Structure 1
Amino acid sequence: MTLGPITGVVSTLVPFHRVLQQRLTSLQDERALMQILSERDSLTQLYNRRVAEEFLSTCVADAASKSGVILFDIDHFKRINDTYGHQAGDIVLVAVAMRCSQVLRKTDCLARWGGEEFFVVLQHVGAEAIERIAEELRLAIASEEIEPAGSVTASFGVSLIKSNDTIGSLLQRVDKAMYAAKTSGRNRVMTDKSLS
């Protein structure tokens, strides 16, 4: 006779527990989605600039880990947008992101830095390795046309993190190297002069 009330309570709690468990799973899924949305560029699905800066900050703090950065910019991107439209520009950005993702290791940080600029942080690399990786990225972008824009190229700046670097000093060097690539004719890799 005493089991009657207990059975009633249990039969009420079991469905409540299931609903609570489903809600908890739903909240965990929503949290995971929000995490992805806060870390990723919505168009290319690469990391966004904020995540790249956090990753870079860690590498600069541990300069002994032999890390480096690559900054690159799609050549004549404004012309692509003006000639073929912004949708074509978006297609180019997504294609470039996919091609570069296939070249890099899972541990590398590839981010859309802004507009048509991309940023790569590589750990455990030396001067020769980072230059080779930048060249592989350049070739991957230029390897096949991207319709409707046709041939697409990019200009690359490369630098290693030094023991006395700040994020600002490193970004200034790699930006200068990238602009040297642009002024030297585009579609090339230029290394920060201090690596020579």
Structure 2
Amino acid sequence: MNLSVQNMIELDSPTLIIAQAIVQWLLAILLMAERGMDKGTKYWVIALFIHGIANLLPFSRPYLPPVVAVIFYNFCVTTAFSFSYLAFARLVGQQAPLWLVLFPIFVMILTMSIYIDDIAMRVIFASIITGTQLILMAFVLTRGNWSGSEKLKGWLMYSTGLFGVGFIVRALFCYVKPELFIHLVAKSSFQSGLVIAGMIYIIFSTVVILLVRLDRLNKELSTLASQDSLTGLFNRRAFMHNATSIIASENFPVSVLMLDLDNFKKINDVHGHNVGDTVLKLCADALQDGLKQYGIIGRFGGEEFAAILPRADSEQALAVSEKLRLAIETINVNPDIRLSISIGVATSSSVSSIEPLLIRADKALYEAKSKGRNQVIHADLLALN
């Protein structure tokens, strides 16, 4: 029984190394199957391929000059981790300095050349260089913007850092007991443990990169589904969804604005659609800036916009509307274009749906248009008249 357990623990490290190379290549192929890979994923794919090649190189040593086999193997390992660093930097939107990518490769080639006949020293320096690269990979995750789950970021950062520390510890052990490390492809439970740990880390890191990529794609799809492509404002569907949530939360009193750019068709006809699009973008930016602390705004189509102001009574809604009207007047596209906007306002202290407020605000907007444009009219004034 004890012998059986021992045999299970003392796994065949050469077989594990080959298995690790196959796993790395399969993961790389899996990532390549994804359409529209970003640069970070591409760097990780390159790292996986190079690392897979590196894992098989020790088996070619009987057929290659020792200098070539040793230096090329360690060159591949360090290059793979340099590409891994580039991938991690991209995960948080950072640009990795070129020297930080190339310097470890240079140091690795130099030290392997100096200690070409000393296996223990090669293992020590290779472990220190690789461990430092991994610790730097963990550190870069603390910077920039991470778009995925914070828990995933923590797992990836700490596992990478611990893996790096493991290589530093390996260097210390090699200094004390070099006989444990001088044969990379020899059968050894210690070497097997290192290979298994590396395989688990690679699989885990690849899964995290896939999950982060998936999270980013979901956010992009959500943005496309809710955002007007020209102005960047909420589209009609997204605005209605958010406005309904505001009303359901009973943020009363609540005010709704219907806004329409004056004489926009004439701008399109005279100056062309490119100028018209520029006008819409500038006006959308001005309206959004003016409403930031008051409520939300969306584009309903063409030159028409809608806004909802939670906890805003009639007086506050009129004041905000006038501020928006003046903001549009100050936009300077060119000397031949004078911009203005008409706004209809409706307020309620108790309503179960946004539709009645939109209808009332739209009637007030129609009144503002019919009375000469470039003005704000509240629906309550229509009721009085």
Partners of 1:24 and 1:7 in 2: how far apart? 26
The Cα of 1:54 is off from its aligned counterpart by: 1.4
Question: Map of 1:37-186 to 2, 5 A cutoff?
Answer: 37-63=224-250, 65-106=252-293, 108-147=295-334, 150-164=337-351, 166-186=353-373
Q: Which residue of 1 aligns with 2:197?
A: 10
Per-residue CA shift, 1:1-39, capped at 9, x if unaligned? 433433222222222222222222111111222222222
Count of matched residue pairs? 196
CA shift for structure 1 position 158: 0.3
Shift in alpha-carbon separation, 1:164–1:66, aligned structure 2, 3 A? closer
Considering fraction of residues, name the structure with more helix. Answer: 2
Decide which structure has greater strand share: 1
Which position in structure 1 is the counterpart of 2:49? Answer: none
SS of the aligned residue for 2:232 comes to: coil
Shift of 1:64: 5.7
Secondary structure of 1:152 counterpart: coil
C-alpha distance 59-161 of structure 1, shift in aligned 2 (>3 A)? farther
Could you report, residue by residue, the CA deviation over 1:41-78 in whole angstroms, capped at 9, with x for unpaired residues? 11111111112111222333355621111111011111
Percentage of matched positions with identical amino acids: 31
Structure 1 residue 165, shift from structure 2 partner:
5.4
CA distance 1:80–1:188, shift in 2 (3 Å): same
- Ranges in structure 1 where 5+ consecutive residues have no aligned partner: none
| SS in structure 1 of the partner of residue 358 of structure 2 | helix
- How far apart in 2 are the matches of 1:20 and 1:177? 55
Equivalent-residue separation in structure 2 for 1:115 and 1:123 (angstroms): 25
Under a length normalisation based on structure 1, what TM-score does the superposition of the two structures give?
Answer: 0.91
Superposition RMSD in Å: 2.0
Most deviating of 161-170 and 178-187:
161-170
1:191 positional shift: 0.6
Tell me which structure has the larger Cα radius of gyration: 2
Task: Give yes or no for contact 1:63–1:162 (8 Å, CA) kept in 2.
Answer: no
Q: 1:31 aligns with which of 205, 209, 218?
A: 218
Which is worse superposed, 164-173 or 65-74?
164-173
Cα distance change of structure 1 residues 143 and 15 upon mapping to structure 2, 3 Å threshold = same
Q: Would the alpha carbon gap of residues 150 and 53 (structure 1) be closer, same or farther in structure 2, given more than 3 Å must change? A: same
Residue 42 of structure 1: SS of its match in structure 2?
coil
Give the stretch that moved more between structures: 56-65 or 94-103.
Answer: 56-65
TM norm structure 2? 0.48
SS at match of 1:65: coil
Larger CA deviation: 103-112 vs 125-134: 103-112
